[in-house]
Amino acid sequence: MKLNVVPARNGFIWVRLGIKTFWKQPVALSGLFFMFMAMLSVFSFTPFIGSFIALALLPVSTLGLMAAAREANLDKFPMPSILITGLLTDSNRRKSMLLLGLIYALAFFGILGVSVIYDGGIFAGLYLNGGSFTEETLNSNNFQNAMWVSTALYLPLSALFWHAPALVHWHQEPVLKSLFFSFIACVSNWRAFAVFALTWSAIFISFAAGLALLTVIFDDSEWVAMVLLPAMLILAAMFFTSSYFTFLDCFIKDPVLA
């Protein structure tokens, strides 16, 4: 396994391949993403411990979505069990995947802990216990500081775990090595990832703006409310499908599904 540094334009290619692959198996990939969201939602009903479990399962779940994208790219139908493929393997890789989940959850809670310093726990409380954002809360300097500090801290955490589950599962790398190479791959290919992020942001914003424009033209917001959520979830499923190609392109060795 060797790191591959790619040009910035590959970020756009990742998006295009993700969308193209999604439409090979739209029902299966949409269904798997809905299952992924439903699983996280179920755990989130239990304050604190439920959120911790949901976070700990994220590496397994995101690997499952990558594996589903790989199956679709090979013109195969991904079965529901592929969502937990990281656990349906040998004991060493399963332990590594669970350890990744534990580290991720602890690190995320650590970020929320840092945010408490800035706003006394309002931002962390909203994440853990749910609730709505009031205008007063959003305009609060303390809340905004907590939000932006959390975002700044989450970016390197995301880079650490972007490729780590795939490296553990497909390349059988140790946990610490997978985290290290995931971070280095993201940093080394930051231009491509910037294009990737900007392209997806443009897609999401353009779609939302288009629906808003149709609402104004036809003066009917009910159908927009009905279409917006499932459409955004489908776009999110496309996004996770495209994440497989970021992994495939950043490392020279082609993974073999086990």
At 112-159, the pLDDT tens digits run 999 999 988 888 888 777 666 677 777 788 888 999 999 999 999 999
CA angle 153, 159, 161 (to 5 degrees): 105
pLDDT of residue 257: 47
Q: Is residue 37 part of a domain?
A: yes
Give 162's pLDDT tier (boundaries 50, 70, 90).
Answer: very high
Domain residues for the domain of 204 are 10-250
* Average pLDDT along the chain: 89
Q: 215 or 105: which carries more pLDDT confidence? A: 105
Tokens of 161: 């775990």
Query: Is the pLDDT assigned to residue 258 strictly greater than 60?
Result: no
Closest C-alpha to 164, from 106, 117, 98, 230: 98
Tokens of 42: 């179920």
pLDDT of residue 229: 78
Q: What is the dihedral angle through the alpha carbons of 140, 144, 145, 150, rounded to the nearest 10 degrees?
A: 140
Beta bridge partners of residue 251, listed in sequence order: 3
The residue type of 157 is L
Q: Is residue 96 part of a domain?
A: yes
- Looking at residue 3, what DSSP letter applies? B
Query: What percentage of the chain has pLDDT greater than the value 70?
Result: 93
Whose tokens are 């993700």? That residue is 18
Whole-model pTM: value is 0.89
Q: Is residue 4 part of a domain?
A: no
Identify whether the C-beta of residue 173 lies closer than 8 Å to the C-beta of residue 1: yes
Q: Is residue 63 part of a domain?
A: yes
Q: Is residue 62 part of a domain?
A: yes
Identify whether the C-beta of residue 142 lies closer than 8 Å to the C-beta of residue 226: no
For residue 251, give the 3-state DSSP assignment.
strand
Q: Is residue 97 part of a domain?
A: yes
pLDDT of residue 49: 85
pLDDT of residue 133: 67
Provide the number of structural domains found in the chain.
1
Q: Is residue 169 part of a domain?
A: yes
| Number of neighbouring beta carbons within 10 Å of residue 84 | 17
Q: Is residue 83 part of a domain?
A: yes
pLDDT tens digits, one per residue of 54-63 = 999 999 999 9
